[in-house]
């Protein structure tokens, strides 16, 4: 390998290490630079090992594979959400945050090493073909998926519009493998959906926080004529919303709040210490009763919204404990078109609560009724296995309760911060056709329809 290509490959490693070292140099240090010197000495060891492998390993190895593997190993020891993104992975990330890509419309993960469907995205080819949450993908177009990476699986699944991909599925309860052909299409993820429930309740569901989520939110509120029609209340459904862009979460919160702090972030670098405030413009009348639905699949950006609404007493939070991802990831582009997703700060609600590894506790706890395919009697251990949260992840950051750095007055910059979605499994949200079985939604509707009755009740004077 010539020196020019070598340094092109080694550059991402140098940038990744520099980013970590920079965070140390911004902290008060002893006069001695022994720590930094020791780090650079270890870099010499890395270079030596790389050289030995390239020259002496029994088979010739690809230098890019070795260097990228080293970077991944370094970042992996930090926390579950920091990651190195090879050029193709970084490209896929940019495509997904824009909300449009070619494929079949499924969210996948590796569960115990097996390619598993988290959930089909609504109104997509996979959803219409009958792919279900929990399905294990054994083959893609006849190619066995054992030991296949998520990126390789995505490459096989995505393709030209109109062509079919054959998924061989292992489904719980079935005695044989299922072959499901799915025709590819341009997948446009609709981050916001809405509808009226009856004539008196407005319902808005936010599936993810993407580039244009706030625009879709405004469209939803205008389409429902919120503020014009005599609604008894508004339901904001954040269940199984895995997060997304921080600036969009702030803007969605701002749509319901006319003043005050929405969220603040704290990190080791000064530019990560920011405060986001609501402005005077709101899109929902202040006196319109509001309930936000959350569950164990509500994470990150959706927890920011729920926390702000709860702290300002703008909405009742109903459902189950949220996921508990209270960290912010910054995407750092690298010169070879790869990227570094690095946890750079923690966020706190207006009342200075840290959600990290804890989550948002609902004001009204309502569990979902068991589905027919689930056990009627389920142990707590089995339930926890189905519902992983941040605190269950290896190397997760602990909750220190208090902001780790004294608050400052820096406000948010114009450039939006990017906060990435967690990669953990999220349980499928009940769809509209399952509404009659949706105990959380039904409870919210019931509360809003009786809101005025209870608000007008006054304690009776004690009998003398």
**What are the DSSP calls for 287-330, one per residue?**
TS-EEEEE-TT--THHHHHHHHHHHTT-SEEEES------EEEE
Instruction: Answer yes or no: is 461 within a domain.
Output: no
Cβ neighbours of residue 36 closer than 8 Å, sequence gap 6 or more: 21, 24, 25
Residue with tokens 């569960």: 111
255 in the same domain as 328: yes
* CATH number of the domain that residue 158 is part of: 2.30.42.10
Instruction: Answer yes or no: is 369 within a domain.
Output: yes
Instruction: Answer yes or no: is 240 within a domain.
Output: yes
Examine the fold and report which residue of 125, 154, 188 is the final residue of a domain before the chain moves on. Answer: 188
273 in the same domain as 181: no
Instruction: Answer yes or no: is 377 within a domain.
Output: yes
DSSP string over 43-77: HHHHHHHHHHHHHHSSS---HHHHHHHHHHHHHHT
Q: How far is CA 464 from the centre of its chain?
A: 57
**251's tokens:** 């803007």
pLDDT at 34: 56
- CA atoms of 416 and 342, how far apart (whole Å): 16
198 in the same domain as 167: no
Instruction: Answer yes or no: is 464 within a domain.
Output: no
Helix or strand (DSSP H, E) at 199? none
| DSSP-derived 3-state class of residue 278 | coil
Q: How many CB atoms are closer than 10 A to CB 148?
A: 19
196 in the same domain as 178: no
Instruction: Answer yes or no: is 462 within a domain.
Output: no
- CA atoms of 180 and 184, how far apart (whole Å): 13
332 in the same domain as 400: yes
pLDDT at 437: 83
180 in the same domain as 289: no
Examine the fold and report which residue of 188, 214, 230 is the final residue of a domain before the chain moves on. Answer: 188
Cβ neighbours of residue 271 closer than 8 Å, sequence gap 6 or more: 410, 413
214 in the same domain as 126: no
pLDDT at 244: 85
Instruction: Answer yes or no: is 83 within a domain.
Output: no
- Do residues 133 and 126 touch, judged by C-beta distance below 8 A? no
- CA atoms of 49 and 262, how far apart (whole Å): 49
- The answer to whether the pTM exceeds 0.85 is no
129 in the same domain as 109: yes
In sequence order, what are the beta bridge partners of 233?
Answer: 201
- Do residues 236 and 249 touch, judged by C-beta distance below 8 A? no
251 in the same domain as 198: yes
Q: Rounded to a whole number, what is the largest CA-CA distance in the chain?
A: 96
Residue with tokens 């004539």: 199
Instruction: Answer yes or no: is 237 within a domain.
Output: yes
437 in the same domain as 373: yes
* CATH number of the domain that residue 374 is part of: 3.90.226.10
Examine the fold and report which residue of 162, 188, 214 is the final residue of a domain before the chain moves on. Answer: 188
- Tell me the C-alpha to C-alpha distance, in Å, between residue 419 and each of 159, 258, 259, 268, 423: 27, 24, 24, 17, 12
- Do residues 398 and 356 touch, judged by C-beta distance below 8 A? yes
Helix or strand (DSSP H, E) at 316? strand 316-319
pLDDT at 391: 73
Per-residue pLDDT tens listing for the chain (464 residues)? 555 555 555 556 555 555 544 443 334 434 445 557 788 888 899 999 999 999 999 999 999 999 999 999 999 899 888 989 999 888 877 776 666 667 898 878 777 778 988 778 778 899 899 998 889 999 999 999 988 877 789 889 988 889 999 999 999 889 999 999 999 998 877 899 999 999 999 999 998 898 899 999 999 999 999 989 999 999 999 998 888 888 999 999 999 999 999 999 999 999 889 999 999 988 899 999 999 999 988 989 999 999 999 999 999 999 999 989 999 888 899 999 999 999 999 999 999 999 998 999 999 999 987 655 444 444 454 444 445 667 766 667 777 665 544 444 333 333 333 433 333 333 333 344 456 789 999 999 999 999 987 776 655 544 44
First-to-last alpha carbon distance for the chain, in angstroms, is 95
Beta strands at 201-206 and 364-365: parallel, antiparallel or unpaired? unpaired
122 in the same domain as 215: no
Q: Would you please indicate which residues are annotated as catalytic (active-site) residues?
A: 300, 311, 325
Range of the domain at 153: 100-188
- Do residues 352 and 326 touch, judged by C-beta distance below 8 A? no
pLDDT at 419: 39
pLDDT at 381: 47
Residue with tokens 């750079």: 344
- Do residues 118 and 152 touch, judged by C-beta distance below 8 A? no
Q: How many domains does the chain have?
A: 3
- CA atoms of 399 and 348, how far apart (whole Å): 11
- Alpha helix (H) residue ranges in 142-274: 150-157, 213-223, 246-254
181 in the same domain as 37: no
pLDDT at 353: 95
């Amino acid at each position: 390998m010539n020196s020019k290509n070598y340094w092109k490959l080694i550059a991402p490693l140098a940038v990744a290490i520099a980013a970590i070292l920079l965070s140390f140099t911004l902290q008060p240090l002893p006069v001695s630079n022994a720590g930094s010197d020791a780090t650079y000495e270890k870099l010499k060891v890395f270079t030596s090992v790389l050289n030995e492998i390239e020259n002496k390993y029994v088979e010739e190895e690809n230098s890019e594979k070795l260097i990228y593997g080293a970077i991944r190993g370094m970042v992996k020891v930090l926390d579950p959400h920091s990651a190195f993104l090879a050029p193709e992975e970084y490209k896929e990330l940019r495509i997904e945050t824009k909300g449009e890509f070619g494929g079949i419309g499924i969210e996948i993960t590796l569960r115990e090493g097996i390619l598993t469907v988290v959930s089909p995205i609504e109104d997509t080819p996979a959803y219409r073909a009958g792919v279900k949450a929990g399905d294990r993908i054994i083959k893609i177009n006849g190619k066995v998926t054992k030991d296949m990476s998520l990126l390789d699986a995505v490459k096989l699944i995505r393709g030209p519009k109109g062509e079919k991909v054959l998924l061989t599925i292992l489904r719980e309860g079935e005695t044989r493998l299922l072959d499901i052909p799915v025709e590819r299409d341009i997948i446009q993820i609709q981050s916001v959906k809405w509808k009226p429930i009856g004539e008196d309740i407005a319902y808005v569901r936010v599936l993810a926080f993407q580039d244009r989520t706030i625009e879709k939110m405004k469209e939803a509120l205008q389409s429902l004529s919120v503020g014009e029609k005599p609604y008894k209340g508004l339901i904001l459904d954040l269940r199984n919303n895995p997060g997304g862009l921080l600036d969009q979460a702030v803007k969605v919160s701002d749509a319901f709040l006319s003043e005050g702090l929405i969220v603040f972030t704290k990190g080791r670098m000064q530019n990560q210490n920011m405060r986001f405030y609501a402005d005077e413009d709101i899109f929902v009348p202040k006196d319109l009763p509001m309930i936000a639905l959350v569950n164990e699949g509500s994470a990150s950006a959706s927890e920011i919204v729920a926390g702000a609404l709860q702290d300002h007493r703008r909405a009742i939070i109903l459902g189950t404990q949220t996921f508990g991802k209270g960290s912010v990831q910054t995407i750092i582009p690298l010169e070879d078109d790869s990227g570094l997703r690095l946890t750079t700060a923690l966020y706190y609600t207006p009342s200075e609560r840290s959600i990290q590894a804890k989550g948002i506790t609902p004001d009204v706890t309502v569990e979902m009724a068991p589905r027919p395919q689930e056990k009627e009697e389920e142990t707590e251990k089995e339930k926890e296995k189905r519902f992983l949260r941040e605190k269950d992840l290896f190397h997760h950051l602990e909750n220190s309760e208090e902001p780790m750095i004294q608050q400052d007055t820096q406000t948010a910059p114009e450039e939006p911060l990017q906060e990435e979605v967690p990669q953990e499994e999220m349980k499928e949200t009940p769809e509209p056709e399952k509404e009659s079985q949706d105990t959380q939604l039904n409870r919210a509707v019931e509360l809003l329809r009786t809101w005025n009755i209870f608000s007008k009740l006054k304690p009776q004077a004690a009998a003398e």
